[in-house]
Structure 1
Amino acid sequence: MPSEQWTHPEPGDGPAAVAAQPSPEQVIAGLRATSEGGAELTQLLTPEGQRIPSERFDRYVADVDDETLKNLYRDMVLVRRADREANAMQRQGQLGIWVPLLGQEAAQVGSGRALQPRDMAFPSYREHGVAYTRGVDMRDLIGIFRCTDHSGWDYRAHGFHPYTIVIGNQVLNAAGYAMGQKFEGKVGDEGGEATICYFGDGATSQGDVHEGFVWAAVYDAPLVFFCQNNQWAISEPTERQSRLPLYQRARGYGFPGIRVDGNDVLACLAVTRWALEECRHGNGPVLIEAFTYRMDAHTTTDDPTRYRLSDELEEWKLKDPIERVRAFLARNGHADQAFFDSVQAEADQFAAELRDYTFNMPEPPPDRVFSQVYAEPSPVLEAQREEYLSYLDGFAAAGEH
């Protein structure tokens, strides 16, 4: 059996072909799917900032007036500016690592703003934009990447679970939480609760993700699976992860799947609101594939120039999620240059405050590593703590002689 399998990106294009190399037709089809998202892509704003009416989804953004769209634009600009600042600070040795979200602002802000306060979100490690929409102070994220905190926020108060580093593990956690919502009778009407879980395209190859799909499906858990398909599972492209578009995998588990333009904040807001509504009413889980692009490295330890072409990045820059909202606002006279300048100034101040906090963050005491692990102490943990502190005191004593 050849080591590589090449498939057409959409159903109806013919059977999957197994070959050592793709045919020219398959290459063209694959490139078209990567750049356009295929025929099933849900889009409300084109890359040029033109509004596309949708009979199915317009009602989910009927309340989005000019001011709301300007606020969504502001959200994305602030989140991107904070992301760029954190990326720079890692390069300067202030953070151990950083996981960029550049290019994925619309997917995160749009879906995050669709949530109600009573909902719960389970992130992976890249959802800085979702954290922002849930009211988490961006400074609380810094401690994770500076290696001083596991998480610095009250996850119950914000409806935002701590970051999960193990690929796909948050899907199992989210499935269990959503099952609890179902068992406690918190679904069934508009006032019900729902859960959303974020993961990347590469995580869909992990067993935890599939187990989460199974459990959520058989128990009709109110869970939105939000897959940010940024085209690259570190250095492996999506076509080496799946024989079909990722959203179609939901069919095998018995719940609906949908592909949305992940660079379209309005579409992400509408589709996520629809999916959450399905969950609140007890209709079971939904899979959303947000078709977007990772415009930076996987993390600051990665070098994407080793595995992807610069032409691909340049093409996706034309689909920038922030620029399409800016174009819509400017073209329709909803915002002037003074507004855009004020948002940029606010974003610069936002980043400056984040930077000042990071550079002046106090070093945590040595016993912090023990006090922030378990809810309650145990004899074994206390013994380890005393042994470690005694070990450190030995260095201090030696320095005095």
Structure 2
Amino acid sequence: MSTEDNSNRFSEVSRKFGITPEDYMLPARHMINLLNPDGSLRSDAEQGTEPGHEYPLPSPARLLEAYEALVVGRRVNDQNSALVRQGRMAVYPSSHGQEACQVAAALCLEDGDWLFPTYRDTVAVLTKGVAPMEVMTSFRGEWHCGYDPKAYNCAPMSTPLTTQLLHAVGVAHAAKLRGEQTVVVAMCGDGATSEGDFHEALNFAAVFKLPVIFFVQNNKYAISVPLAHQSAAPSLAHKAVGYGMAGERVDGNDLMALMAVMGRAVRLAREGSGPLLIEAHTYRMQAHTNADDDKRYREDSEVAEWVGKDPVIRMRAYLDDAGLLDEKVQGKITAHAEAVASTLRDGMNEEADTDPLQLFAHVYSEPTAQLREQRELLADELAREEA
């Protein structure tokens, strides 16, 4: 694609919004933020919107749906952390504090769209409709992926950083070649933006104008490495313009802003505007996993500061003030969250019926000689133990 082609491409989009191509691609000067930490609605001047960066508020029904998913996500996070302490789960990367990002990522998609999550995006996968026990199977060490990705249009939760971004781009490319209206949301963290796969995925998506939204949850740490030691860019959203796509920054603890920004991004991608990069500023309230000691690299005062920005408390306060949430509705939502946690707890307390030989299944359609040899060695060892 020539420079002239790129110019024409962005001129078409920018004319739609009445702004220059540069203003379309560059993030708004201020982070998009619709709600204050106390749940009050910010004024138009405070919201960070600019020409071409306006976001209609989600409907009350949509906000209640999102809030319920948020409450369920928080309850599942806390339940899983308890299961780890009880020895019922091997490891769990909690997203306590980041649930609003994950709810918005899942709810912005339609049935035919695809979600590509990371290992920390349990809440997003739950919100996509996957059963709790199917989501948590891999963390129990019972199976590679407990759900059928094609049944939910949700890829397996990826532990290797950024490999899922390349897979997401591949699905979007295939959908475009087939003439489908599929939109793909590819999730990652700030640490993933330092990986080579991040560059390859964004560059390919931009060149081929693919309907992919790269959703970066900037929780300030790549395990123990702070963002300042990873990138010198003004923001991670600013990286988008170098690839020829639009970027945006949003308050990742503001569920209303996330729903508005992600909803707009999905609409633009579906209309053919190409890929977009959304950077959500949030915070991982708990350790990287149960194997991590976060006190070695951050202060308690830093964590305490983010407690006051809790996305669950903020959204509940807004809904209360708006008259959309009363004790009866809140009671139903809380009961639903407890039911999900109870189902998960009961399932995890049952002993898993596993077959170690399944380790070699589904690796290749036709097993290699090495795999067959390894399987026979393990089968022999297991038979000796049983004898």
* TM-score, normalisation: structure 2: 0.86
The aligned counterpart of 1:29 is: none
2:336 to 339, 346, 371: 346
2:90 to 96, 111, 121: 96
- 1:105 matched to 2:94? The reply is no
What SS is found at the alignment partner of 1:257?
Answer: strand
When the two chains are superposed, the root-mean-square deviation of aligned CA atoms in Å is: 1.9
Distance (Å, rounded) in 1 between the aligned partners of 2:294 and 2:136 = 24
1:120 to 114, 133, 136: 114
Distance (Å, rounded) in 1 between the aligned partners of 2:79 and 2:363 = 29
What SS is found at the alignment partner of 1:226?
Answer: strand
Equivalent residues, number: 353
Task: Please identify, of 271-280 and 159-168, the stretch whose mean Cα deviation from structure 2 is larger.
Answer: 271-280
- Cα shift readout 1:303-330 (whole Å, capped 9, x = no counterpart): 1111111111111111110111110111
2:371 to 352, 358, 381: 381
CA contact (8 A) 2:186 2:212 kept: yes
Distance (Å, rounded) in 2 between the aligned partners of 1:342 and 1:212 = 42
- Cα shift readout 1:105-140 (whole Å, capped 9, x = no counterpart): 111101210001111111110111110121111111
CA contact (8 A) 1:221 1:285 kept: yes
What SS is found at the alignment partner of 2:34?
Answer: coil
Deviation (angstroms), 1:375? 4.8
1:315 to 297, 302, 305: 305
The aligned counterpart of 1:184 is: 178
1:233 to 222, 225, 231: 222
CA contact (8 A) 1:150 1:372 kept: no
What SS is found at the alignment partner of 1:130?
Answer: helix
- Cα shift readout 1:333-388 (whole Å, capped 9, x = no counterpart): 22222332332233223212211100104231222212243455555534432332
Deviation (angstroms), 1:145? 0.7
What SS is found at the alignment partner of 1:278?
Answer: helix
Distance (Å, rounded) in 2 between the aligned partners of 1:387 and 1:125 = 31
Distance (Å, rounded) in 1 between the aligned partners of 2:316 and 2:366 = 49
- Structure 1: state its 5+ residue gaps: 1-36, 187-191
Amino acid at match of 1:324: R
Distance (Å, rounded) in 1 between the aligned partners of 2:308 and 2:28 = 17
What SS is found at the alignment partner of 1:350?
Answer: helix
The aligned counterpart of 2:238 is: 248
The aligned counterpart of 2:147 is: 153
Amino acid at match of 2:232: R
- 1:197 matched to 2:191? The reply is no
Distance (Å, rounded) in 1 between the aligned partners of 2:90 and 2:282 = 27
Q: How does 1:186-335 map to 2 (within 5 A)?
A: 186=180, 192-244=181-233, 245-335=235-325
What SS is found at the alignment partner of 1:96?
Answer: coil
- Structure 2: state its 5+ residue gaps: 1-26
Amino acid at match of 1:264: D
Amino acid at match of 2:116: F
What SS is found at the alignment partner of 1:181?
Answer: helix
Q: How does 1:125-144 map to 2 (within 5 A)?
A: 125-144=119-138
Q: Which runs of 4+ in 1 moved over 6 A?
A: none
CA contact (8 A) 2:142 2:352 kept: no
Distance (Å, rounded) in 2 between the aligned partners of 1:265 and 1:160 = 21
Q: 1:86 to 1:375 in 2, by over 3 A?
A: farther
Task: Please identify, of 298-307 and 360-369, the stretch whose mean Cα deviation from structure 2 is larger.
Answer: 360-369
Identity, in percent, stands at 38
What SS is found at the alignment partner of 1:367?
Answer: helix
* TM-score, normalisation: structure 1: 0.83
